[in-house]
A = this chain, B = another copy of it.
Amino acid sequence: MTPASDPIFTDVAATLCLIFIFLVPLAGAGLALINTGLGRARSAAHQMMSSLCAVSIAAVAYLVCGFAWQGFAGGPAHVLHVGGKGWSWIAAQPLFLRHVTLNGSPASLVALLGMMSAALAALIPLGSGADRWKLSATCASTVLLVGVTYPIFAHWVWGGGWLAQLGENYGLGRGFVDAGGSSTIQAVGGLTALSIAWILGPRRGKYTTEGMPTAIPGHNSSFVVLGCMLALVGWWGLNSAGAVVFAGAGTGDAVLVAINTTLCAAASALMAAVITGVRFGKPDLSLTANGWVGGLVASSAACVFVRPPEAAAIGMVAGALVTFSVEWFELRMSVDDPGGAISAHGMGGIWGVLAVGLIARVPPMGPNATGEPPGQWLAQVVGIATLIGFVLPLTYGLNWLLNRMRPQRVSVEGERQGMDLHELGAGAYPEFMTHSDDFGQR
């Protein structure tokens, strides 16, 4: 644990940090609401059920093996010696959280924060797989994400792994830096969402026979915005906890973190509203909400290393990026992502990591360090290259294998019937009358 050298990280600071983590589940509730609200009414119960199961499986899988392989800086790890330097590539903690005293120690905070981070990551692909992803496949895919992909990359970034060692080994700034999880949680989740969307293919009727996309509006905009607001509280907790546990910040720095997080989300949402308003004549609620989430996502990595106006600037870029990315994936790539998860979490997360290199001032760690070490931007670029060159193939490959063993997509008949009736035997809103006709031509 790097903050162990930080004199502020006392027992009281640990408990304060713990309370930051206690707010993180609200981010999960928010994401589940956003995903559900942006999906169809006839899949709403299925989406919520999938969310509850994903969180449950993530919690179990993380505590069985996820934490053991993520580990924490300073803990036991497998080290590869290449070029005269030691590279830590996976942690070597015992399974089942054995030998970890869960009493507020830095390691125990990593475990609790990691459990909720893994659950958040697991909720992200549910957005892109909405309306066609089998519940059983969701569960299996979550096991792979939380048991394999997430802990490996989280070890590299947060567990003292080789990305974090880039500073020590090659003098690249402080090494790859991501305080709140723009890469570990969001980009990993977003790239998994992309893999899922590729593997499942678009929803029936999403594209005409000429390949033109049809608008399939979300079924409950109130849920979407409520989700955005709950997510804000969750992100305050997430970024503050990450800044203290993984970036050596003091608990008082959470003021800066909260202001930056809010400004980044606000600027991003406003940018998305303005862009859609100018381009389409009317501002678009779902893109504005995606912009808000993208701003939260982008704020995480640099949350404690920038001043408020810089956070707002990061948010403005995020809002534009998410807006154009959603359109690009839908129009050019023919990727059907009902929840906008790929753009908000994947692109937003990568931008957040890059922003650390471009905008933030990352001070060196340790008591006798001075000045701002150079090469931080290069460490961030190496991290992004790792996300695209290693994490994306890994998560795609694992889900491709899963799909080979048993198709992850529901049957055509099931999709026509709606996920709720087909997979759960009951609709989410059985007493309400809904339009029998579909939005697209199918």
Interface residues of A (CB under 8 A from B): 11-16, 18-23, 25-26, 28-29, 32-33, 36, 40-42, 44-45, 48-49, 51-53, 55-57, 59-60, 63, 96-97, 102-105, 108-109, 111-112, 115, 135, 217-226, 228-230, 232-233, 236-237, 240, 250-256, 258-259, 262-263, 265-267, 269-270, 273, 280-285, 288-289, 292, 307-309, 312, 420, 423-435, 439
Q: What are 25 A-to-B residue pairs whose CB atoms are below 8 Å?
A: A15-B16, A19-B20, A22-B254, A45-B221, A49-B225, A52-B225, A52-B269, A52-B288, A52-B289, A56-B269, A57-B266, A60-B270, A63-B263, A63-B312, A102-B308, A104-B250, A104-B254, A109-B255, A115-B259, A115-B262, A217-B430, A221-B420, A282-B425, A283-B424, A429-B432
Query: CA A223 – CA B32 in complex, angstroms?
Result: 11
Nearest Cβ in chain B — how far from A306, in angstroms?
A: 11
Q: Which of B218, B259, B307, B428 contacts A222 (CB 8 A)?
A: B428
Give the nearest-CB partner of A56 in chain B: B266
Nearest Cβ in chain B — how far from A66, in angstroms?
A: 12
Give the nearest-CB partner of A273 in chain B: B53
Nearest Cβ in chain B — how far from A360, in angstroms?
A: 15
Nearest Cβ in chain B — how far from A316, in angstroms?
A: 10
Known contacts A29-B230, A259-B111, A266-B56: does B434 contact A432 (CB below 8 Å)? Answer: yes
Contacting residues, chain B, for A21 (C-beta < 8 A): 258
Give the nearest-CB partner of A269 in chain B: B56
Contacting residues, chain B, for A42 (C-beta < 8 A): 431
- A59-B263, A104-B255, A217-B430 known; 11 other A-B pairs, CB under 8 Å? A15-B16, A18-B254, A18-B255, A22-B258, A48-B224, A53-B273, A57-B266, A63-B259, A103-B252, A432-B433, A433-B434
Contacting residues, chain B, for A225 (C-beta < 8 A): 32, 48-49, 51-52
- Residue pair B48, A103 in contact (C-beta under 8 Å): no
- Residue pair B222, A22 in contact (C-beta under 8 Å): no
Nearest Cβ in chain B — how far from A203, in angstroms?
A: 14
Interface centre among A12, A233, A237, by most chain B C-beta atoms within 10 angstroms, is: A233
- Residue pair A270, B57 in contact (C-beta under 8 Å): yes
Give the nearest-CB partner of A28 in chain B: B229
Nearest Cβ in chain B — how far from A386, in angstroms?
A: 29
Contacting residues, chain B, for A229 (C-beta < 8 A): 25, 28-29, 32, 51-52, 55
Query: CA A308 – CA B55 in complex, angstroms?
Result: 16
- Residue pair B262, A59 in contact (C-beta under 8 Å): yes
Query: CA A363 – CA B277 in complex, angstroms?
Result: 53
